[in-house]
């Protein structure tokens, strides 16, 4: 048996001004056949599992290109087509194959393509024919279009948000593909459209219990091969935006449809209840002070580069400076120009600097201050589980007693290594500000004295009724109160 593995992945916030081109993929992760190292990343973990199983003699593996870049705005059309055609050319050369595992994210949008993954999967199907098995790994912050479901056999999304289970889900993609190729199972995908869009951290109730229930059903119900809740991605203005429940049964689509509806209606009943309380910067600072012992973690919930925004908002920093909060640190503000100035000035320099809030509206104003350049680090990296996340060249500046990390590659704050990578001890700080919606929670919850979720400015389209969608359906909650009555 022969298996082909390849992938192209990012998450597109169609409202973001940060366009994505080939240079972005090349700067983040662009592994041609055989070039990917042995550390699984969020989207490439199926490759690592396929390599292990091929090495054990289960099949012959043909590697294609696997690429990923950090979330941003629309993908340049020729960039998507170039990467897609590179992968399809590799697949044609690899034929005949019995299985294809695609390392996807599922929220790409390119100029002229509302559903690039659907386009890619359909073209793969054309090449491999009806009998080969097509499996794909997805991020739950994606769009589960009918075209993808029609052309793939197996799609599996991370269950956890933070996505701490990406290695396990990659193993599941490969395992289900291999068992299907051997004729041991007959996967049938059934989907229920929950007709809603929301944000679902699984580190808190009610989603924690729902995820545990999905794991229990997978373990106990012999008809069920895999369950995935596609959360949806509200910043991607595409026709099929929304939350969907995906059930894969062993040959029983009717059973799958009933189970998908039962679970999907449970998710609909949780609408509006899954998000944490979001407070203003002023309230967040007052609460942090009241805790009295550090480190208190304040999450800049919406200015998360992991959701495609610039990640250069200054709203919380301005409030910290105005409130004279000492012994705080902030990760990160994206500002390659300011980093360049600091690199030239050198460590220890005291310089007048304009930084932050340069890329998009509703992110505060650029800050003008005399800052001290505390530390300069070339090509810094943080971690997220087994994954190494590039931050680019970084400058740590001190302004008003607050240490601020300026970076050149946009990346959300995943783990405490975002601070330690540039010489800041997060445990010694009273207040830590992180630009992240919830991925930070997996590590920071281990040592934070308190976690406060903060809404600052409006860098992200977080209010579906007022986002100004042009393509997304208007018949989903919370745009309408009861979409099932429509």
Residues that bind Zn ion (CB under 5 A): 139, 141
Q: Which is nearer to Zn ion, 160 or 175 (CB)?
A: 160
Cβ of residue 139: shortest distance to Zn ion, in angstroms? 4
Q: How far is the CB of 155 from Zn ion (least distance, A)?
A: 15
Full DSSP string of 40-94: --TTTHHHHHHHHHHHTTS-EEEEEEEEE---BSPBPHHHHHHHHHHHHHHHHHH
Contact 138, 155 (CB under 8 A): yes
Q: Where are the alpha helices (DSSP H) in 106-206?
A: 116-128, 146-151, 166-181
Kindly tell me which of 11 and 175 has the beta carbon lying closer to Zn ion.
Answer: 11
Looking at beta carbons only, is 43 or 467 nearer to Zn ion?
Answer: 43
**Shortest reach from residue 411's CB to Zn ion, in Å:** 14
How far is residue 203's CA from residue 197's CA, in Å, rounded to a whole number?
18
Taking the complex as a whole, the smallest distance from the CB of residue 77 to Zn ion amounts, in Å, to 24
Cα-based angle 374, 378, 104 (whole degrees, multiple of 5): 125
Query: What SS3 state is found at 202?
Result: coil
Indicate the residue whose CB is closest to Zn ion.
141
- Compute the distance between CA of residue 463 and CA of residue 199 in angstroms, rounded to an integer: 11
201 or 400: CB nearest Zn ion? 201
Q: How far is the CB of 306 from Zn ion (least distance, A)?
A: 7
Q: How far is the CB of 386 from Zn ion (least distance, A)?
A: 17
**Judged by CB, which is closer to Zn ion: 49, or 141?**
141
Closer to Zn ion by Cβ: residue 236 or 281: 236
| Residue with the two structure tokens 């000035």 | 345
- The Cβ of residue 368 has, within 10 Å, a number of other Cβ atoms equal to 10
Indicate the SS3 state at residue 120.
Answer: helix
Q: How far is the CB of 105 from Zn ion (least distance, A)?
A: 8
Q: Between 4 and 166, name the residue whose CB sits nearer to Zn ion.
A: 166
Length of the chain in residues, anyone?
A: 486
Which H or E element spans position 285? Answer: helix 281-291
Nearer to Zn ion among residue 44 and residue 180 (C-beta): 44
Q: Choose between 117 and 139: whose C-beta lies nearer to Zn ion.
A: 139
CA 245, CA 229: separation in Å to the nearest integer? Answer: 5
Long-range contacts of 29-35 (CB under 8 A, 24+ apart): 29/66, 29/67, 29/68, 29/69, 30/65, 30/67, 31/65, 31/66, 31/67, 32/65, 33/62, 33/63, 33/64, 33/65, 33/90, 34/63
CB 233, min distance to Zn ion, A: 8
User: What is the smallest separation between the CB atom of 161 and Zn ion, expressed in angstroms?
Assistant: 6
DSSP state string for 317-379: HHHHHHTT--SEEEEEEE-HHHHHHHHHH-TT-EEEEEES--SSSSS---EEEEEEEEEEEEE
Cβ burial, residue 386 (10 Å; 0-12/13-18/19+): middle
**Alpha-carbon span 322 to 402, nearest angstrom:** 11
Compare residues 44 and 249 and give the one whose CB is closer to Zn ion: 44
Given the DSSP bridges, would you call strands 387-399 and 402-407 parallel, antiparallel or unpaired? Answer: antiparallel
Which lies closer to Zn ion via its Cβ, residue 15 or residue 355?
A: 15
DSSP summary character for residue 38: S
Radius of gyration of the chain (CA): 22
Least Å distance, CB 238 to Zn ion, is: 16
Q: Which is nearer to Zn ion, 235 or 325 (CB)?
A: 235
CB of 141 to Zn ion, least distance (A): 4
CB 400 within 8 A of CB 379: no
In whole angstroms, the minimum distance from the beta carbon of 480 to Zn ion comes to 25
CA distances from 436 to 299, 300, 301, 307 (A): 6, 6, 6, 9
* Residue in 93, 98, 117, 119 with CA at minimum distance from that of residue 33: 93
Q: Quote the least distance from Cβ 273 to Zn ion, whole Å.
A: 20
Q: Which is nearer to Zn ion, 139 or 193 (CB)?
A: 139
């Amino acid at each position: 048996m022969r298996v082909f593995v390849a992938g192209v992945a990012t998450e597109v916030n169609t409202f973001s001004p940060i366009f994505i081109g080939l240079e972005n993929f090349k700067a983040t992760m662009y592994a041609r056949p055989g070039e990917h190292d042995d550390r699984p990343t969020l989207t490439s973990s199926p490759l690592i599992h396929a390599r292990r199983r091929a090495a054990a003699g289960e099949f012959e593996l043909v590697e294609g290109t696997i690429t990923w870049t950090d979330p941003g705005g629309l993908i340049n059309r020729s960039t998507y087509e170039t990467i897609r055609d590179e992968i399809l050319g590799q697949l044609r050369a690899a034929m005949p194959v019995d299985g294809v595992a695609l390392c996807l994210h599922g929220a790409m949008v390119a100029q002229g393509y509302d559903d690039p993954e659907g386009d890619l999967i359909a073209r793969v199907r054309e090449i491999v024919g009806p009998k080969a098995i097509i499996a794909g790994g997805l991020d739950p912050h994606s769009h589960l279009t009918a075209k993808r479901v029609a052309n793939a056999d197996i799609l599996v999304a991370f269950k956890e948000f933070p996505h701490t289970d990406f290695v396990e889900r990659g193993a599941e993609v490969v395992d289900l593909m291999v068992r299907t190729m051997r004729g041991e199972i007959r996967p049938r995908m059934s989907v229920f459209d929950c007709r809603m869009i929301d944000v679902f951290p699984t580190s808190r109730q009610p989603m924690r219990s729902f995820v545990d229930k999905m794991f229990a059903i997978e373990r106990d119900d012999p008809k069920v091969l895999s369950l995935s809740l596609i959360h949806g991605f509200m910043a991607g203005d595409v026709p099929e935006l929304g939350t969907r429940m995906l059930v894969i049964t062993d040959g029983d689509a009717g059973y799958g449809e009933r189970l998908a509806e039962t679970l999907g209606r449970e998710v609909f009943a949780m609408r509006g209840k899954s998000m944490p309380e979001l407070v203003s910067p002023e309230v967040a600072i007052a609460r942090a002070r009241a805790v009295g012992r550090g480190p208190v973690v304040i999450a800049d919930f919406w200015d998360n580069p992991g959701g495609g925004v610039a990640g250069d908002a200054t709203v919380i920093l301005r409030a910290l400076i105005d409130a004279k909060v000492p012994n705080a640190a902030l990760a990160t503000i994206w500002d390659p120009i300011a980093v360049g100035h600091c690199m030239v000035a050198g460590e220890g320099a005291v310089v007048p600097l304009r930084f932050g809030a340069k890329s998009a509206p509703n992110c505060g104003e650029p800050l003008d201050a005399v800052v001290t350049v505390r530390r300069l680090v070339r090509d810094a990296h943080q971690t997220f589980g087994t994954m190494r996340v590039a931050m680019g060249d970084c400058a740590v500046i001190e302004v008003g007693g607050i240490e601020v990390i300026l970076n050149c590659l946009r990346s959300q704050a995943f783990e405490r290594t975002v601070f330690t990578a540039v010489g800041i001890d997060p445990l010694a700080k009273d207040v830590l500000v992180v630009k992240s919606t919830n991925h930070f929670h997996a590590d920071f919850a281990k040592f934070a004295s308190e976690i406060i979720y903060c809404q600052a400015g409006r860098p992200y389209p977080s209010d579906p009724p007022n986002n100004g969608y042009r393509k997304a359906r208007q018949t989903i909650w919370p745009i309408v109160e009861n979409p099932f009555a429509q």
